[in-house]
Amino acid sequence: KVMFIHDWGCSEVEQWLISEGFEKYSDLICNEHEVDGEVLLSLNENDLRKPPLQLTKLSDIKKLWRSLKLLQQKSKIECSALKGAFYSLPFTGPATHKNGMYNNSNNNHGKTIDYDSDNLMLDSDMEEPIILRNKGVNFLPELNKLFVSFMYATFVSWVTAYMMVLVHERVPDKQKYPPLPDIFLDNVPLIPYAFQLAEFCGLFLATMWLLILIFHKHRWRYCIYIFSNINLMISPRLISVDNISKVQASMYNSSWERLVRATEIMVGCGMTLTGVHTCGDYMFSGHTAYLTLFNHLITEYTPTKFYRLHTLSWVLNLFGIFFVLAAHEHYSIDVVIAFYITSRIFLYYHMLANTRCYWHSKRVKIWFPLLSYFECNVPGKVPNEYEWPIQLKNLRKRFTL
């Protein structure tokens, strides 16, 4: 049974004192003065120094006060959870804080629970971080939001493809407007197959992401984060390739042909491996954007201890960017802008989504309505937990019904 700190009785307070190493004061505090959880949370350092407690040993006063501050901070988090805030920390009994870990003997049978840096939260009133664990929080799938985010991503992708079709008709003549000078392209020889290698890097990252998505416990909410990180690619620019004769403006006779071509680009994901060849989407590298997006998705939704996977993801991201440039498919500024915008949008979105203090601001709801809609019922940062997508017990329940 979950018991919050302010609901403790004298026996729970006594257990907490013993677990913190203050067994000699348990009789004074619990039996003589009948201090329960509510009274314990109201104590301060002066209460420990002055009568009626009047502790005499300075080291015990400081250590007990430090433990009380940590306990009070935990209680604040619990109260926020009861009020429907984003972080909760259900507490089943006294816990010991040793070397950055909490040991909860009541519900873990004396085993030490290890927490990583993904679950840290800093508070301005505390000298040390409080460690959170969202495993006890119920994350609802919210399939309606998944559908909205999927439709939004599909619509934006199609509009982007349609804009590329329109821009393709305005590609300037290479004879009249030669390529602009670029320090990287001028010094790196053309590698004809490099663009395909960049797309292979993207496909490998996408495969890694799909595997993480399949085995992630909160896969439905994970999808909402993915579809809400959509980047638009606009603005035509002069052709950066000087030796590809196929790059020329394409004229379409009707709006229907443009719609069909836009659908082909969207279905083919804009990749040359699927037979899609477009021009005019300069000033922003779409391949760099999706390489960077997949990289950030992999590193964000896997634990920090998967550092080998994170290293591989970053290597593929950077090599993919290099191959885009080596193929002379984009100017250097295209790649830099795409990497910067994609990474900033991803990090800003998750920073706002995981920082609960911003949700009290109306400005966030005005300027980021989709963010406010997608994250309004999320009870905290999505923990990186994994499970088999198809479980035998769930199949048995369905067959028995």
Active centre residues (catalytic): 287, 330, 334
189: preceding bond cis by omega (within 30 degrees): no
Report the DSSP beta bridge partners of residue 97: 102
Q: What are phi and psi of 386, to 5 degrees?
A: -130, 155
Give dist(CA 318, CA 325) in Å, integer: 11
User: Whose CA is closest to 221, among 338, 118, 301, 341?
Assistant: 301
Three-state DSSP string of the chain: CCCCHHHCCHHHHHHHHHHCCCHHHHHHHHHHCCCCHHHHHHCCHHHHHCCCCCCCCHHHHHHHHHHHHHHHHHHHHHHHHHCCCCCCCCCCCCEEEECCEEEEHHHHCCCEECCCHHHEECCCCCCCCEECCHHHCCCCCCHHHHHHHHHHHHHHHHHHHHHHHHHHCCCCCCCCCCCCCCHHHHHCCCCCCHHHHHHHHHHHHHHHHHHHHHHECCHHHHHHHHHCCCCCCCCCCCCCCCCCCCCCCCCCCCHHHHHHHHHHHHHCCCCHHHCCCCCCCCCCCHHHHHHHHHHHHHHHCCCCCCHHHHHHHHHHHHHHHHHHHHCCCCCHHHHHHHHHHHHHHHHHHHHHHHCHHHHHCHHHHHHCHHHHHHHCCCCCCCCCCECCCCCHHHHHHHHHC
Q: Taking CA 154 as the corner, what is the angle to CA 214 and CA 390, rounded to the nearest 5 degrees?
A: 15
**Which residues touch 62 (CB under 8 Å, ≥6 apart)?**
none
